[in-house]
Each structure stands twice: as C-alpha cells, then as structure tokens.
C-alpha cells in the first residue's frame, strides 16, 4: 500500500553537509519526495512535534537542539513508506544503529542522530500537518515507479 510519511533532516546533519547524502539514500530505495523545504523550526512547531515528550526532563533540551540550526522537512511517499523509512534510518541511539542505516553511518549520538521519521501512519499524518499544507505536497510519477514499487 502506498503511504505518505514525514521525515526531517536534523540540525546536526544540515550543519555537517549531509542533506544530499540522506536524500540520495531515500530516493535510491524508491521513495518519492512529494514535499521538501528547509526551515528554521519555530518554538510552536517544535512544541507540537515533540508534544509526546512534553512532561519528560529532556523536553527543553530537545526543543533547543531542533531549533539550533535549519532543518529540512520532507513529505515522502512509497510502498509501506513508514516502515521502510524506519528501517532505512535505523535505531534512535547511534550506538545501536546498524551499519548501512542513516543513523548507523552518519549519526553522532542519541540526540544528534541525523534524521527523524514518523513511527506510525497516525503520527505521520499529525507531523506532516505541522509543516505542510495539502497543497504543498505534489503529485507526480517517478520514471522507475513501476519497477521499484
């Protein structure tokens, strides 16, 4: 089933010049980027994105980090996009992320872990709505869609 999911290339990846490397990995897997923008996350957006962690002691640090430099937000479509993205990015903790995953190869620590991706279709819908309107997500066909999907 074709799904839409949300991903964000985090500040640590942006300042290290890893945007292209990460996008290349997603596209090589056959995922389609249907929305993309580089932004400086507002405090309100950060609060909404991480609202599930609002009562946790690391919440303020999390918001501070995600606002420390620009990020690239992505709307992504593909066959089972949520689970495919989770496998591509790897475990949250860089020490546990397998080599070959984005985090296994590129992350620095548990907090500076290169990329965020939605963990469920429900969260994907919620997170996409924070950063994109429906009209900002484009419809087009990749030339290789019939081969990779």
The residue from 26, 116, 117, 131 that is catalytic is 116
Q: Cα(27)–Cα(122) distance, rounded to whole angstroms?
A: 23
Please give the torsion angle defined by the CA atoms of residues 10, 46, 119 and 3, in that order, rounded to the nearest 10 degrees: -90
Tell me: is residue 86 an annotated ligand-binding position.
yes
Tell me: is residue 58 an annotated ligand-binding position.
yes
Tell me: is residue 92 an annotated ligand-binding position.
yes
Tell me: is residue 25 an annotated ligand-binding position.
no
Q: Write out the two tokens for 107.
A: 């992350």
Tell me: is residue 131 an annotated ligand-binding position.
no
Active site residue 116: yes
Q: Is the dihedral of CA 83, 88, 89, 95 positive or negative?
A: positive
Tell me: is residue 4 an annotated ligand-binding position.
no
Measure CA 141 to chain center: 21
What count of Cα atoms within 13 Å lies in the side-chain half-sphere of residue 3? 19
Which residues carry out catalysis? 116
| Residue ranges at the known binding site | 10, 58, 86, 92, 103, 113
| Residue ranges at the known binding site for ATP | 10, 58, 86, 92, 103, 113
């Amino acid at each position: 089933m074709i799904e839409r999911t949300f991903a964000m290339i985090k500040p640590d990846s942006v300042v290290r010049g890893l945007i292209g490397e990460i996008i290349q990995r997603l596209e090589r897997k056959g995922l389609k980027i249907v929305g993309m923008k580089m932004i400086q996350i507002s405090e309100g957006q950060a609060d909404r994105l991480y609202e599930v962690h609002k009562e946790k002691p690391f919440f303020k640090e999390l918001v501070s980090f995600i606002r420390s430099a620009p990020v690239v937000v992505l709307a992504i479509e593909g066959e089972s996009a949520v689970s495919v993205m989770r496998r591509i990015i790897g475990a949250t903790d860089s020490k546990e992320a397998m080599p070959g995953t984005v985090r296994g190869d590129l992350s620095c620590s548990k907090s500076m872990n290169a990329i965020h991706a939605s963990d469920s279709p429900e969260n994907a819908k919620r997170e996409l709505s924070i950063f994109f309107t429906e009209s900002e997500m484009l419809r087009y066909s990749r030339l290789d869609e019939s081969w990779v999907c």
